[in-house]
Structure formats: structure tokens, C-alpha cells
Amino acid sequence: MSEAFRQNKLLPQPDWPLRMPQTLARHLLWPLHERLRGRETAVHLRALQRGERAGGTWLSHEHTNKLEALLAHCAANVPYYREILAGSPPDLEAFSVLERDSVRERGRELLADNASGPLLPSSTGGSTGRPLVFWSDRVKEARHNAQKLRFRGWFGIRPGDRQVDFWGSPIELSKTSRMRVIKDRYFLNQVVLSAHDLTPERLEAYVRFLGRFRPRLVYGYPTVIVRVAQTLEANPGLARGWRPQVVVCTSEMLYPQVREQIAGILRCPVANEYGSRDGGLVAHECPHGRLHIATEHVHVEVDQPDEDGIGDLLITNLDGYSMPFVRYRVGDRGRLGDGADCPCGSPLPTLDRLEGRRNDFLAGSEGRRVHGSAANYVMREMPQVAQYRLVQRADLSLDIEVIANGPWGEAETWAVTRGMQGILHAEVPVRLKLVDHIAPSPSGKYRWVESEALES
């Protein structure tokens, strides 16, 4: 793909129509798009809104019914769970905790015998940098999207509203077709801007684009959005008075100081979304700052809570019938809310505490800061990588430990070296070492990307 096309995707050219009228996108183009994709997202969204109005008792009953139906499906139709249960009744306690290693090793056995419709492949590196491949379907995807829209509606965002995402792997962006970019950008009012190449010039270009496109929703990594906000603060004329309706942060811990900076500069609410590709959309903040669980979509448990009620979160996705994840350890820690009513009026239960998500930046050439997840997309392309840990030193060089589950030679080392140099735009030394074990940090958690170059 040419560099010119990459730039066209990131920042649409001025000779194109700037934006689709939001009412047209909402009432015609978005419903048509979902229908053509075979997704009943609008139907599911209306059902979520009706259920929320029905109140907490109805939601609890619906949640219990969905959980029991999924567990019965697993017992009858999923080889992995048939073996686990061994004829026992499909009560939740009879299901052992599902670990990521089990999904990696026995993923095919987690596919339902009666899965219908096309299976949709997905993957994630997770917080340990170990690639994980799994499968979804259109029903799960539509219900996931409906949950997003329900929560965003709390902040006045509706389908078809202009949206900018600071997101995406450089690899995935390069594979996106031009027709899809045009469709998302000019028909659905959705633009994805790369989070991985944040030179000062690129940040100013992003702010200038935001001032022209004027999105109502900004979504993505808080560590990226705060840098965009800081650039706007330093160059207020570039955005021509634009401010979003809401900023929704995801995929990283949203620290109080980052939230305050974004909210203070952009003068809008900042909400936290919690979820993952493998676990699904778990929870979303309301305008009063409480993290409400998507109880129609997931069942949340806290495994072995400590004296403060905090433990590993176990997620059961209630819509994942093609490849069910039951009591899945997502790698984060948290605490369930106490059931007290929220001032927002939503009857959805809450997460009272959330811990454990963080990605670092890497330092590139000419002041670039590259999102740490960019390294994961390089390593994810190497099927021999079972696990890795990357540390960037103060001189920008990289030390990478790799646990390989297949043949590894000079070609693989060269591919990793060139990939890392490519995302940093710098010919930095890359020292790769094959190891049998990668030790966790003193806290007991694995940090798969760290940068000593940005610690100050």
C-alpha cells in the first residue's frame, strides 16, 4: 500500500465532502449498513432500552435466564465443557475457571457443535503479550455493538453521530480496504486515526481535522487522547472552537490526572469503558461516574477476593454461543458494587473498583511516541511467538525476550527487528533473546512492554 493512501486514510483530503448529515446517517445509512452486514443491532438496542426501563428485578430475572440457557448450551453442544462437566448438572459452580492457556491449547474444542452462520475470527495479545485467537459470530457482534450504543446514549450519542477513534494497529490499518475507509468515513461518520505515530506534526494535523470534522464522540486510548487535548490547548485556533459531546476512554487504565486533563481541556464529560475483545464489553461509566455492568451481555464474578473484596475478574459472555467463554479469567482485578442505587437512575449493577490495564508508549525518532500495543501487532504476526517481553532502554534500543513454540532462525529475528524499527521510524538496535521463561514483575503481573526512555 502506498504512503499516500495511508495518509488519505488518516486524514481525508479537502476535495472530498467533509461529512454526512447525522440524521441521514442515523435513520437511513446506518440501519441499511447493519442489515447488509446481517446484524440486528437496532433490534437489540431497543430491547436493551426497554429492559432498562423495566427495572432491576426484570433485569436480574433476564440475566439469570440467559446464564442458565448458555450453561445448558455448553453442556449439550460444546466438547470442552461436556468433558469438564462429565454428566454433572450445568450449574455455574461445576464449570472450572477458564484460563487463556486453555483457550490457546484447546480452542477448537470450545467451538459449539451446532454453531450456525459464519464464524468471525478475532485475536488479542492480552496483557501478557501472548497471542490468543478465538471466534465470534454476527449475533454476538450485534449485541456487543448494541451495548456500546446503549451506553453512549446516556451521554446523548446516537447512531450516525460523528465519531473519531484513536485506535488501531498499524498492520490492521494497512489491511483496511479503501472502500471500507470511504464507507465508514463518508456514509457512517466514523473515522479511525492511528494511535501509533504521534509526532508533533501529526498531532497538530489531528487537531486541525477534529476542528473540520467536529465529532460529537471521541473514543480510544486515554494516553493518546490526552496528548491530542494538550496539543489543542497549545494551539487553540486549530480546532476552531470545536468541543466533543463526550470522550470515552478504553483499553487502558484511566488515571484521575489523565481524566482531569482531558475533561479540563475539552470541557466535556469523560467516561470509562471496560471490556476486551475476548471477554466482551463488560462495563461502562454513567454520567455520575459509576461503572455499570452490561448485565444482559456478561456475568461477572470476583475470584478469591481479598479482605477488600478485590480479586481476579471472571467473565462469562452470555451471547457467545459459537465459542462460549465461561468463567473466563480476563487478567484484570476488581470489586463488585454493593447494589446501592445510582443517581443516574440505571438499575444495572456496578463495578466498584477496577484494576490492572495499562499500556506504555515507546519512544521513536524525532519526538515520536508510539503506543505500546503497536509492538504487540508486530509480534502477533509471528506464529512462533508463544510469549514475549519488550524493554526499551534509555538510548531507545530494544531488548526482547521471546518464548518460541516453533522453529526460530535469522529470518524470524530479522522480521521482528524490521517490524520494531518500522513502528518506531528509527534504526534502533534490537537485541532478541530466546528464553524458556519470562518472569513477572515484583507485583506478580506481567508487563509485556516497558520503556525506560519515557520514564521521566
Consecutive 10-residue averages of pLDDT for the chain (456 residues): 40 53 94 94 97 96 98 98 94 96 94 92 65 90 97 97 82 62 88 83 94 96 90 95 96 84 97 93 97 98 94 96 97 91 96 69 82 79 86 94 93 96 94 86 56 72
CA distance 128 to 125: 7
3-state SS string over 383-407? Answer: CCEEEEEEEECCCCCEEEEEEECCC
pTM of the entire predicted model: 0.79
CA distance 314 to 175: 33
Instruction: Give the residue carrying C-alpha cell 482485578.
Output: 333
Question: Which amino acid makes up residue 159?
Answer: P
- Residue 130: predicted pLDDT: 63
Q: How far is CA 97 from CA 92, 168, 281, 293, 301, in A?
A: 10, 30, 19, 20, 11
Show the cell assigned to 377: 501487532
- Residue 6: predicted pLDDT: 43
**DSSP class per residue in 67-86:** HHHHHHHHHHH-HHHHHHHT
Detail the DSSP E strand segments found in 277-327: 280-285, 291-293, 298-303, 311-317
CA distance 275 to 281: 4
| Chain centroid, CA 374 distance in Å | 14
- Residue 291: predicted pLDDT: 98
- List, in order of start, the domains of the chain with CATH numbers: 3-355 (3.40.50.12780), 361-454 (3.30.300.30)
Question: Which burial class, exposed, middle or buried, applies to 320 when counting CB atoms under 10 A from its CB (0-12, 13-18, 19+)?
Answer: buried
